[in-house]
Amino acid sequence: MKKKWLIGNWKMHGNLASNKALIESLRAELPQPDERATMVVCPAFPYLFQLAELTKDYGVGIGVQNVSDHLQGAYTGETSPLMVKELGGSYAIIGHSERRQYQGENDGLMGRKALAAIDAGLIPVICVGETAEERDSGRTHEVLGRQLDAAFGYIRTAHDKIILAYEPRWAIGTGIAATPEIVQTEHEFLRQRIAIRDKEFAAKLPIIYGGSVKVSNANAIFSMPDVDGGLIGSAALNAREFVTIYRAMLATMPAAVA
């Protein structure tokens, strides 16, 4: 069985004091993460350095929620993936639906950002997902396929340098997660679509699910064969919930991973 991932997207929450308290609670709940499953937290940009310091001797990865599609230059207000790397980040969420929705990001930009992240040595966590209206009108696969092709059309990299996240927009922050069956169907669709280009890469690529993952649904979702982990929003802001979800994920895995 493959390794799994649990990534906490803190969104625009936190401050110096609450970040410190959250990491202290995480460490109290879970002295060290298990080697079968990588745990990552993604704070807002200004706290990247603080989080890198707080987790120095703690086996949790650090990521950001966005990066520039450029490595350097006259791009006011942008953050280079090289800067993220220098300050201790290893992951970058790319193309989150909240950025598509509120910042007008599109598929092409997502692909360029993923490429820049890879160039800087970060692991991009590329998000794809349909809206409720797209699902209701039977266009889920058309949308997922388009988003996927836009991102992966640019990218030539190894399966362990990239993560794909399925995050249906209707499940994000709504408390209504996709059912385990829907998650499995869409993960399988995404994996098959990637397999058209490269079978081995597709089989090994981590595909994680995000959207209202909670303690109550974690085990059922993570038990699905094509689910390699989770991208967690609100539940990642509570150490006990985040660790309980992490343990629910471990419970779906054998004692050792390949």
User: Within a 10 A sphere around the Cβ of 72, how many other Cβ atoms?
Assistant: 10
Q: Binding ligand 13P by CB under 6 A: which of 234, 241, 244, 245?
A: 234
Judged by beta carbon, residue 82 or residue 171, the one nearer ligand 13P is 171
Q: How far is CA 143 from CA 12, 108, 134, 139, in A?
A: 27, 14, 8, 6
Pair 87, 67: CB distance under 8 Å: no
Distance CA 47, CA 58 (A): 17
DSSP 3-state helix, strand, coil percentages of the chain (rounded to 5)? 45, 15, 40
Judged by beta carbon, residue 116 or residue 172, the one nearer ligand 13P is 172
Clarify whether 29 is annotated catalytic.
no
Q: Which residue is nearest to ligand 13P (CB)?
A: 233
User: Within a 10 A sphere around the Cβ of 170, how many other Cβ atoms?
Assistant: 20
Q: Binding ligand 13P by CB under 6 A: which of 95, 124, 211, 229?
A: 211
Q: Could you tell me the smallest distance in angstroms from the CB atom of residue 258 to ligand 13P?
A: 27
Judged by beta carbon, residue 69 or residue 167, the one nearer ligand 13P is 167
Q: Could you tell me the smallest distance in angstroms from the CB atom of residue 167 to ligand 13P?
A: 6
Clarify whether 86 is annotated catalytic.
no
Question: How far is Cα of residue 110 from the mean position of the Cα atoms in its chain?
Answer: 14
Q: Binding ligand 13P by CB under 6 A: which of 83, 114, 231, 243?
A: 231
Pair 79, 67: CB distance under 8 Å: yes
Catalytic residue among 98, 105, 167, 186: 167
- How buried is 167 (Cβ within 10 angstroms: 0-12 exposed, 13-18 middle, 19+ buried)? buried
Q: Binding ligand 13P by CB under 6 A: which of 62, 110, 151, 172?
A: 172
- Judged by CB under 6 A, the chain residues 88 through 107 that form the site for ligand 13P are 96
**Residues carrying an active site annotation:** 96, 167
- For the annotated binding site for substrate, the residues are 9-11, 173, 212
Residue ranges binding ligand 13P (CB under 6 A): 9, 96, 167, 172-173, 210-213, 231-235
